[in-house]
Amino acid sequence: MSKKKNEAICSFALACTFLCWHSLALAEDVTTLPPLAPAPDNSYVSAALGNGILYGTSLDTQKPMRWRAAEIRFGPAIDLFGLAAGGHLPAGGSTRLDYVYYNEGHPDNNHRDGYAAQMVYRQKLHPDFDLELGAGPYFSMNRTTVNGTEIDDRRLGGLFSVALLARLDQLSPGLSIRLAYNHVLTPGAPSSDAFLVGIGKELGATHVNAPDAGGDHGLWLAALGGFAQTNQSGPGKRLSYALEAKKYYGPWAASVSAIEEGDDGVRVNRHGIAAEGWYVQPITEHWDISAGAGPYLAVNQRDSGNWKVNGLISLQVGHDLGKGFRGFADFGRVVTFRNKNDADLMTIGIMKRFDM
């Protein structure tokens, strides 16, 4: 089973678990939790799987995704340009900003996935159905072979989405089945179309545990461990670990990490320092999901041995353990901007709060 297929399936399974567990979590005893803070009205999280095709630039025929397309999205309601407050939206209309991880499956000689930010317009069609339209920039990475050389081709394009949400409020308020169509348009690279089916949850104003709801912004120190995988064929997984300091500011956070990616024996033996900004969205009283990105200054002993500025993009699911401890799972993508030596970092960790 391929590396990216594992990533897509594991990410989808985790997201679905958290969504389905939401209703049960509301019944838990929360008397020992820190102060609670409300989630943004109509914030949303979903996960979906499906199938589609790649076609166009550099492809002589359509390439199927082999039923491995996957998407995870989450984001808060945002009144874009004050349209809702000014009464400029139709009744039942709203806008939202979504953060999206999208895996476009595994067409022949293409293993493309990436991250998007979409403005989403939602319109209520019927008490049981909503329609969503989304569009925004999509930063993708495609492991592919060109003229006999394997590269990790990075491109900036657009992700356009249409989704029908079939509401299941009778089972849990805000729960829905998501039927979606995604179109990727990327200059100089193949386009793609995919249909996906998944489950989503509109969180509403559910009260959740924010990491620093009290407003005193304690410092969180974390230790992470897991494995890294170079995004080119050949090198296998190797042990990776990191130490991190993080501060939360409401739905935002900032972190600094010392990262050791390990040695794949062929292309990457890299370590360095990363700084990331985060958006954090609570899911339940105990769970949150967050997206982070920032510069990563690192040295690769199997390349030039010089310090270079890379990028780090992260997707993280966290769980409040009580008494100032949090556990989390983190999926990070190291982007070198040189079409080689990119890597995935898949780790779990624990963090402890220290009041300041």
DSSP string, 189-241: S-EEEEEEEEEEEEEET-EE--TTTTSS--EEEEEEEEEEEESSSS---EEEE
Contact 318/290 with Cβ under 8 angstroms? Answer: yes
264 domain residue, yes or no: yes
172 domain residue, yes or no: yes
pLDDT, residue 213, reads 56
214 domain residue, yes or no: no
User: Does 258 lie in the same domain as 334?
Assistant: yes
Model confidence at 207: pLDDT above 70: no
**Average confidence (pLDDT) over 304-323:** 96
Determine the Cα–Cα distance for residues 326 and 323; give it in Å rounded to an integer. 9
- Domain edge (last residue) among 145, 180, 208: 208
pLDDT, residue 30, reads 33
Determine the Cα–Cα distance for residues 275 and 95; give it in Å rounded to an integer. 30
Neighbouring residues of 121: CB distance < 8 A, sequence distance ≥ 6: 93, 94, 95, 132, 133, 134
pLDDT, residue 208, reads 52
Residue of 9 and 297 predicted with greater confidence? 297
The pair of three-digit structure tokens given for residue 181, joined into one six-digit string: 């169509």
Indicate the pLDDT class of residue 148, thresholds 50, 70 and 90: confident
Taking 3-state DSSP, the helix, strand and coil percentages for the chain, each rounded to the nearest 5, stand at 5, 60, 30
Determine the Cα–Cα distance for residues 47 and 72; give it in Å rounded to an integer. 5
Contact 286/299 with Cβ under 8 angstroms? Answer: no
CA dihedral sign of residues 140, 239, 70, 15 = negative
CA nearest 344: which of 3, 11, 101, 111?
3
User: Does 193 lie in the same domain as 55?
Assistant: yes
User: Does 274 lie in the same domain as 161?
Assistant: no
User: Does 201 lie in the same domain as 65?
Assistant: yes
Indicate the pLDDT class of residue 313, thresholds 50, 70 and 90: very high
Tokens 């064929």 correspond to: 233
266 domain residue, yes or no: yes
When mean pLDDT is compared over 58-62, 152-156, 178-182, the highest value belongs to 178-182
User: Model-level pTM?
Assistant: 0.85
Instruction: Report how many domains make up the chain.
Output: 2
45 domain residue, yes or no: yes
348 domain residue, yes or no: yes
User: Does 78 lie in the same domain as 23?
Assistant: yes
HEC string for 2-60: CHHHHHHHHHHHHHHHHHHHHHHHCCCCCCCCCCCEECCCCEEEEEEEEEEEEECCCCC
User: Does 271 lie in the same domain as 132?
Assistant: no
User: Does 244 lie in the same domain as 145?
Assistant: no
User: Does 281 lie in the same domain as 176?
Assistant: no
Give the Cβ contact number of residue 245 at 10 Å.
15
213 domain residue, yes or no: no
User: Does 95 lie in the same domain as 32?
Assistant: yes
Q: How far is CA 242 from CA 3, 224, 282, 315, in A?
A: 22, 5, 24, 15
The SS3 of residue 323 is coil
Q: Which amino acid is present at 266?
A: V
Percent of the chain with pLDDT over 90: 72
Domain ranges, residue 233: 219-354
CA nearest 210: which of 70, 343, 78, 39?
39
User: Does 95 lie in the same domain as 194?
Assistant: yes
Indicate the pLDDT class of residue 216, thresholds 50, 70 and 90: low
12 domain residue, yes or no: yes
- Domain edge (last residue) among 153, 176, 208: 208
User: Does 167 lie in the same domain as 87?
Assistant: yes
- Domain edge (last residue) among 169, 185, 208: 208
Q: How high does pLDDT run on average in the chain? A: 87
User: Does 198 lie in the same domain as 273?
Assistant: no
Percent of the chain with pLDDT over 70: 85
* CATH code of the domain in which 230 resides: 2.40.160.20
Determine the Cα–Cα distance for residues 221 and 345; give it in Å rounded to an integer. 19
